Amino acid sequence: MLMAALRDMQWRKRRFVIAVLSTAIIFAMTLVLTGLANGFRVEAAKTVDALGVDVFLVKAGASGPFVGATPFAPVDLGRIAASPGVIAAAPIVYAGGTVTVGDATRNADLFGAPERGPGMPAVSEGRPPSTPDEVAVSSTIGRHVGDDVEIASRTLHIVGIVENSTALANLPNIFLTTEGAQQLVYGGQPLVASIGLRGTPAEVPAGYRAVDRDGAIADLLRPLKVAVNSITIVAVMLWIVAALVVGSVIYLSALERLRDFAVFKAIGVPTRNIAAGLALQAIVVALLAALVGAVLSLALGPLFPMQVIVPTYAFVALPVIAVVIGLMASATGLRRAVAVDPAIAFGGP
Amino acid sequence: MTVGDLYIQNLVVEYSSGGYAVRPIDGLDLDVAAGSLAILLGPSGCGKTTLLSCLGGILRPTSGAIKFGDVDVTTLDARGLSAYRRDKVGIVFQAFNLVPSLTALENVMVPMHGAGMSRRAAHARAEELLTRVNLQDRMTHRPADLSGGQQQRVAVARAIALDPPLILADEPTAHLDFIQVEEILRLIRELASGDRMVVVATHDSRILPLADRIVELVPELATTNRPPEWMELEAGAVLFEQGTMGDLIYVLAGGECDIVRQLPGGGEELLKVVKPGDYFGEIGPLFNLPRSATVRARTDATVIGYTVTEFRERLGAGGARDLIEHRPLSMD
């Protein structure tokens, strides 16, 4: 009955095309939302990895090393740098701030670290900042080496560009020296958000807590947790809508073909073959919708003002989930088809 | 009984309609020999299609036995019935019932796919069958592009796709003009050969000359006009039974009668108590239908039985309309 199912799809192709496109748009939106949530994580991971810090030390009992950090004086820096397993240690400053470029002011993430790190990312153009008045900025800010930017009422000179460096939903990252950041954030007091270590300390110094890169990424993502959860809820709702679209199309198809099913049964076609035909329609609709949805998501992603990075596993999982959802959604139609009375085949048109 | 003979014994089909028990088939006995063309004749509602459904393993009778060859159809389970329908029965439906999205060729291939035949073999067999019914140049046409007769020929080809020994045809000429009817009649007659039996349900008398056996499910009553009959009934006596045929319309001259209808699973419901001067039992004789209720004397009663012609005369100028609308009878 697979042939009959495919022919029926050709016969009612307009309806199935509409169903495929509708479902594809929903799948594309689901993928985009997944890409948005993943984009937050990817940009946070890129930022943390770019700092070149293996372990962040924060005060015991405090969170951090970025968003939830409690500033402290790095009085133990020398002793920690000399401890076993530590290759290098540096005072790291972090704060949220604003940057004014031309007439526009936008939020930014401010990082302070020594010129040679750890904590200072590699620049794609120019050089890292070496004085408190110099900055390296993300390329997404649209400025060049030699330009000035205004941060917290101070005018700073751009000496380096860091390629596509963002965090917290596409906010540009600004990198200063530790002193420069302390002047902006702490009014010049010698405080830090964390001590960044290269290498792995043999033991965590007393009074401190070690945060690895994953912990640092999670800390940087913390403000977005509500947004990510909301996106996840919307994505789940979209899955439900997609299931309803596929399910209703298959159910309508089943209702309109009840007489056909009755005839099939009356001439001895096994019920399982009839159900398989209808299930095939659900699978074809779901798979085609997943394919078109994947292509659409690639087109829709760049339209968003944030990074949409759809993970590869999502493209792989989409058709699988789509088929499962399509079959579940078609259960009502399948039940209707299976239960049809072959006696319907008798009687007039 | 030989292979391919059909044997029906005391077949009863009862279902509930509007809360009342209806027995379109009540105690039918029938034997049809293999290779015969049997015609089930009768008006609409007499149980022709119901009987076909039972023969085709689609409807389970309430009681009785159907044996086709060595298969006791009435004892088969759902899986067995499906296999019986596939292997033993081919059905030609009244409304053709071709799948509109499939070509003529694909429609004929459907039962073969259902039986697990390979696509190549099914294709070759379908081509052969459509050629046999003179549709070799219409194989790729969809049903909507075929005439009624051509559609019915495709349906016949589909019915014999698996070479079943029993072909059931439900009103096969119902939607055809006289030219198309001729084609289909010839085809149906050809099908009943060798061991293959064809059972046709119809009320089309044009088919009758084809038949080896005619089964009148509701015998036509040879009604002759005759004077009114007076009958005396003792209390409790039954005047007529639900489901029987009769040619008289009754007027109650004295006493009282109950009109009762059978309920599903036994029991009965009192529909009306007839009083002197009232008349009843008019629809059955008028439309040649079985009685829809039983009439029993509540007290000692006197009834007068009229033929339809006599009764119309009794009604006067209003005639049939007054009768159908059950207008009160003038007792002059």
Look at B59 and A343 and tell me if their CB atoms are within 8 Å.
yes
Q: Based on the domain organization, do B207 and B273 belong to the same domain?
A: no
Best CA proximity match to A79, nearest among A57, A111, A63, A48: A57
B102: which chain A residues are within 8 Å (Cβ-Cβ)? 3-4, 7
The answer as to whether B145 is a domain residue is yes
Of A264, A342, A343, the CB nearest to B110: A264
Per-residue confidence of chain B (332 residues) as pLDDT tens digits?
Answer: 455 689 999 999 888 877 777 788 888 899 998 888 899 887 777 788 889 999 998 888 999 999 998 899 999 998 888 889 888 999 998 888 899 999 999 999 999 988 889 999 999 999 999 998 889 999 999 999 998 888 988 998 999 999 999 999 988 887 777 777 777 888 888 888 788 899 998 887 777 888 888 888 876 566 677 788 899 999 999 999 888 888 899 999 999 999 998 887 778 889 999 999 888 988 888 877 788 889 999 999 999 999 888 887 777 665 556 666 666 666 55
The answer as to whether B331 is a domain residue is no
Could you give phi then psi for residue B304, rounded to 5 degrees? -120, 125
pLDDT of residue B324: 63
Q: Does A342 touch chain B (CB under 8 A)?
A: yes
Q: Which amino acid is at A79?
A: R
Of B53, B85, B174, the CB nearest to A268: B85
Contacts of B274 (CB under 8 A, 6+ apart): B252, B256, B257, B258, B259, B280, B295
- Nearest chain A residue to B160, by CA: A267
| Tokens, residue B285 | 């004789």
Per-residue confidence of chain A (349 residues) as pLDDT tens digits?
Answer: 788 888 999 988 998 899 899 989 999 999 999 898 889 999 999 999 999 999 999 998 888 799 878 899 999 999 999 999 999 999 999 998 888 877 888 899 999 999 987 999 999 999 999 999 999 999 998 889 999 998 878 899 999 999 999 998 889 999 999 999 999 988 889 999 999 999 988 888 889 999 999 999 999 998 888 988 898 899 888 888 888 888 888 888 888 888 888 888 888 888 888 889 888 988 998 899 999 999 999 999 889 888 888 989 989 988 888 888 888 878 888 888 888 888 888 765 5
A253: which chain B residues are within 8 Å (Cβ-Cβ)? none
- Please tell me what DSSP assigns to residue B170: E
Best CA proximity match to B316, nearest among B303, B330, B305, B326: B330
Q: Does A267 touch chain B (CB under 8 A)?
A: yes
B100: which chain A residues are within 8 Å (Cβ-Cβ)? 11
B175: which chain A residues are within 8 Å (Cβ-Cβ)? 349
Q: Based on the domain organization, do B19 and B110 belong to the same domain?
A: yes
Q: Based on the domain organization, do B193 and B262 belong to the same domain?
A: no
Q: Based on the domain organization, do B14 and B81 belong to the same domain?
A: yes
Q: Is the peptide bond before B143 cis (omega within 30 degrees of 0)?
A: no
**Strand (E) or helix (H) holding A137:** strand A134-138
Look at A349 and B95 and tell me if their CB atoms are within 8 Å.
yes
Q: Does A270 touch chain B (CB under 8 A)?
A: yes
Q: Whole-prediction pTM value? A: 0.73
Look at A260 and B99 and tell me if their CB atoms are within 8 Å.
yes
Please check whether residue A71 is in contact with residue A181, taking contact to mean a CB–CB distance below 8 angstroms.
no
**Strand (E) or helix (H) holding B259:** strand B257-262
pLDDT of residue A63: 84
Q: Is the peptide bond before B100 cis (omega within 30 degrees of 0)?
A: no
A246/A329 Cα distance (integer angstroms): 7
Q: Based on the domain organization, do B281 and B211 belong to the same domain?
A: no
Look at A349 and B114 and tell me if their CB atoms are within 8 Å.
no
Please check whether residue B281 is in contact with residue B295, taking contact to mean a CB–CB distance below 8 angstroms.
yes
pLDDT of residue B330: 61
Best CA proximity match to A270, nearest among B2, B78, B187: B78
pLDDT of residue B9: 93
Q: Which residues of B touch A (CB under 8 A)?
A: 49, 52-53, 56, 58-59, 82-87, 89-91, 93-95, 97, 99-102, 106, 109-111, 113-115, 158-159, 162, 170, 174-175
Strand ranges across the sheet with B238-240: B238-240, B294-297, B257-262, B268-274
A11/A5 Cα distance (integer angstroms): 10
Q: Based on the domain organization, do B117 and B82 belong to the same domain?
A: yes
CA A5 to chain B, closest CA, distance in angstroms equals 9
pLDDT of residue A64: 77
Q: Based on the domain organization, do B174 and B293 belong to the same domain?
A: no
Q: Based on the domain organization, do B303 and B201 belong to the same domain?
A: no
Look at B101 and A7 and tell me if their CB atoms are within 8 Å.
yes
- Domain end point (choices B216, B237, B269): B216
Q: Based on the domain organization, do B266 and B189 belong to the same domain?
A: no
Look at B95 and A343 and tell me if their CB atoms are within 8 Å.
no
Q: Which amino acid is at A165?
A: S
B174: which chain A residues are within 8 Å (Cβ-Cβ)? 348
Query: Which one of B48, B49, B110, B200 would you mutate to disrupt binding with A, by most A Cβ within 10 Å of its Cβ?
Result: B110
Exposed/middle/buried for residue B16 (C-beta within 10 Å: 0-12, 13-18, 19+): exposed
The answer as to whether B176 is a domain residue is yes
Query: Which one of A12, A16, A265, A267 would you mutate to disrupt binding with B, by most B Cβ within 10 Å of its Cβ?
Result: A267
pLDDT of residue A297: 93
Q: How far is CA B237 from CA A95, A130, B60, B256, B278, in A?
A: 106, 121, 34, 11, 18
Q: Which amino acid is at A308?
A: V
Q: Based on the domain organization, do B195 and B102 belong to the same domain?
A: yes
Q: Based on the domain organization, do B253 and B285 belong to the same domain?
A: yes
Could you give phi then psi for residue A107, rounded to 5 degrees? -65, 155
Q: Based on the domain organization, do B46 and B152 belong to the same domain?
A: yes
Of A264, A266, A348, the CB nearest to B56: A266
CA A341 to chain B, closest CA, distance in angstroms equals 8
CA B254 to chain A, closest CA, distance in angstroms equals 45
B20/B4 Cα distance (integer angstroms): 37
B172: which chain A residues are within 8 Å (Cβ-Cβ)? none
pLDDT of residue B67: 93
Look at B97 and A269 and tell me if their CB atoms are within 8 Å.
no
* A/B interface, count of CB pairs below 8 Å: 91
The end-to-end CA distance of chain A, in Å, is: 23
Look at B101 and A265 and tell me if their CB atoms are within 8 Å.
no
Best CA proximity match to A31, nearest among A300, A282, A284: A300
pLDDT of residue A130: 94
The answer as to whether B121 is a domain residue is yes
Number of domains in chain B: 2
Best CA proximity match to A203, nearest among A305, A55, A313, A42: A55
The answer as to whether B275 is a domain residue is yes
Beta pairing, strands A134-138 & A154-162: parallel
B110: which chain A residues are within 8 Å (Cβ-Cβ)? 1, 4, 264, 267, 269
B167/A333 Cα distance (integer angstroms): 32
A76/A189 Cα distance (integer angstroms): 16
B170: which chain A residues are within 8 Å (Cβ-Cβ)? 346
What CATH number is given to the structural domain containing B143?
Answer: 3.40.50.300
Q: How far is CA B152 from CA B48, B149, B231, B270, B326, in A?
A: 19, 5, 52, 46, 42
Q: Does A266 touch chain B (CB under 8 A)?
A: yes
Domain containing B236 equals 229-324
Query: Which one of A253, A263, A280, A341 would you mutate to disrupt binding with B, by most B Cβ within 10 Å of its Cβ?
Result: A263
The answer as to whether B332 is a domain residue is no
What CATH number is given to the structural domain containing B256?
Answer: 2.60.120.10
